[in-house]
Amino acid sequence: MPEPVRVLLTGRHGQLGQALVASVPAGIELIATGRGELDLADAAACRSAVEQHRPDWVLNAGAYTAVDRAESEPALAEAVNAGAPGAFAAALASSGGRLLQVSTDFVFDGEQGHPYAPEQALAPLGAYGATKAEGERRAAAALPAERLCLLRTSWVYGPVGANFCLTMLRLHRAKAAAGEALGVVADQVGCPTATAGLAAACWRVIERGVSGRHHWSDCGAASWYDFAVAIGAQAAARGLIDAPARVKPITTADYPTPARRPSYSLLETSTTRHALELEGQHWQAALAEVLAQIPLPTA
């Protein structure tokens, strides 16, 4: 029997981390860590974890993901989002292992108006995107290219964790009950990405030994407004909510946030789909599968 591939996972309790733990393929020996086992803000601890476990891969799914809070905590965001991948990459360079670093559409400024290709130059707008971009840079500086996979994704959500879909379910219920409209930003366009498909893409990277810069999202495009409307309609059809609230399109200027966000951050995913031999699915089909995993409310 071939030796199992040893994978050191970070962020096991995050949305992606939970989907990864739930879908470990045969032939993988998983060492799953959360904040309790490995503090990603501690670069020495990240290096020691590689030296101790000698993984074939580090799958770095943990991150500082609070986009707005990162504006007031840039040092912590940088330690986690840039320090950890840099430390993993440096240790893996010595140990011979590989790194799968999960990154974000927020490394782009959203100005170009057509999908971003994996090799394009980065131009983040806010602290979160800047720290993730710096994490990519440090990983690429420390590891030979054939032992690094940078996998960017967008608008991640799933049946558990803190995400837009679960927030919208709560707001649809509350606003419909109050007879109020739900205002959602309609001038930011991207693509929702369900955790199950993203986890499958991560495992495929490891199984195939894929390297380089890659993009993974579900298929199609949406504004946050479109996504909110679809969540309401599908959730009502499934019985998760009695009825959707009326969703009102608003502008980014109507909903000011500490961090600036890209107005158009679709990712060009075709080369990655080809490399991984994964077709993916339209985001509305993926949404139906996510909603099907959320328990119906008890009477």
Q: To the nearest whole angstrom, how small is the minimum distance from the Cβ of residue 246 to ligand NAP?
A: 25
- Residue whose CB is less far from ligand NAP, 67 or 241: 67
Q: Of 251, 280, 253, give the one whose Cα is nearest residue 267.
A: 280
Provide the 8-state DSSP code for 116.
B
Distance (Å, rounded) from C-alpha 86 to C-alpha 72? 22
Q: To the nearest whole angstrom, how small is the minimum distance from the Cβ of residue 69 to ligand NAP?
A: 11
Which residue of the chain is nearest ligand NAP when measured via CB?
A: 14
116 carries an active-site annotation: no
**234, 287 Cβ separation under 8 angstroms:** yes
Q: To the nearest whole angstrom, how small is the minimum distance from the Cβ of residue 36 to ligand NAP?
A: 8
- Residue whose CB is less far from ligand NAP, 176 or 214: 214
* Residues that bind ligand NAP in the complex, under the rule CB under 6 A: 11, 13-17, 34-35, 39-41, 61-65, 80, 102, 104-105, 132, 153-156, 161
Q: To the nearest whole angstrom, how small is the minimum distance from the Cβ of residue 298 to ligand NAP?
A: 26
- Residue whose CB is less far from ligand NAP, 104 or 272: 104
- Residue whose CB is less far from ligand NAP, 15 or 272: 15
Q: To the nearest whole angstrom, how small is the minimum distance from the Cβ of residue 114 to ligand NAP?
A: 19
**120, 108 Cβ separation under 8 angstroms:** yes
Neighbouring-strand partners of residue 151: 102, 214
Distance (Å, rounded) from C-alpha 111 to C-alpha 120? 13
- Residue whose CB is less far from ligand NAP, 128 or 171: 128
Burial of 248 (0-12, 13-18, 19+ CB in 10 A): middle
> What's the sign of the alpha-carbon dihedral 187, 188, 194, 198?
positive
**Secondary structure class of 4 (helix, strand, coil):** coil
- Residue whose CB is less far from ligand NAP, 105 or 218: 105
Give me the catalytic one of 116, 128, 157, 264.
128
**279, 225 Cβ separation under 8 angstroms:** no
**203, 28 Cβ separation under 8 angstroms:** yes
Angle between helices 224-238 and 283-292 (to 10 degrees): 40
Distance (Å, rounded) from C-alpha 209 to C-alpha 215? 16
Q: To the nearest whole angstrom, how small is the minimum distance from the Cβ of residue 127 to ligand NAP?
A: 13
Give the residue numbers annotated as catalytic, written as ranges: 128
